[in-house]
């Protein structure tokens, strides 16, 4: 482990976060999956910048991320990226307050993606994502209004159900 890494405090920042004040069993199941998935990608990307890629932490992270590829195909989860595109077109004000990472990875007009499970916002760039960008991603995902919107019968859940009704 690189104890001097400027990314180590970012990883600590991620692990200091908690969902204890939320009943995640009441979250929209698809939106919750992608919340946890985003956190896993953040963890994995930062961990690659701190630990050797063959460290047990990174091996376990990669195994989880391989497993989630099949999980993403189950139930209503395949609708998620279409939902993000639909939201951008139909409710741009709601799209604009989505977490940065969701907008960059799931919007086809954006170049960002998960590449080998790492977060790559600028595929043309050769520099690692700045630590401040990861802080921003983490804060977005734990923003109280965003988390409240994930509950069933709340704003993002209702919009997701509206999207499902439209595509039937």
**For residue 128, what pLDDT is reported?**
86
Q: Look over the chain and give the mean of its residue pLDDT values, rounded to a whole number.
A: 95
- Reported as type and span, the H/E element at residue 113 is strand 113-115
Q: How far apart are CA 104 and CA 38, in angstroms?
A: 12
Q: What's the whole-model pTM score?
A: 0.94
Encode 67-80: b = buried (16+ Cβ within 10 Å), e = exposed. Answer: ebeeebeeeebeeb
Rounded mean pLDDT, 62-73: 95
pLDDT tens profile 75-128: 999 999 999 999 999 999 999 999 999 999 999 999 999 999 999 999 998 888
Q: How far apart are CA 131 and CA 45, in angstroms?
A: 11
The domain segmentation of the chain, as residue ranges, is 26-167
Q: Residue 145: how many CA atoms within 13 Å on its side-chain side?
A: 4
């Amino acid at each position: 482990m690189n104890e001097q890494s400027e990314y180590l405090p970012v990883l600590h920042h991620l692990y200091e976060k908690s969902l204890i004040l939320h009943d995640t069993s009441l979250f929209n199941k698809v939106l919750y999956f992608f919340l946890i998935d985003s956190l896993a990608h953040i963890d994995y990307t930062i961990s690659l910048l701190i630990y050797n890629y063959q460290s047990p932490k990174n091996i376990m992270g990669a195994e989880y991320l391989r497993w989630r590829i099949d999980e993403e195909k189950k139930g209503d989860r395949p609708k998620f990226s279409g939902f993000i595109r639909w939201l951008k077109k139909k409710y741009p004000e709601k799209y604009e307050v989505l977490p940065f990472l969701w907008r960059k990875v799931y919007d086809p007009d954006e170049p960002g993606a998960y590449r080998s499970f790492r977060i790559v916002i600028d595929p043309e760039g050769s520099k690692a994502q700045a630590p401040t960008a990861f802080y921003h991603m983490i804060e977005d995902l734990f923003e109280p209004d965003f988390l409240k919107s994930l509950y069933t019968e709340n704003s993002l859940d209702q919009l997701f159900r509206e999207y499902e009704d439209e595509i039937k």
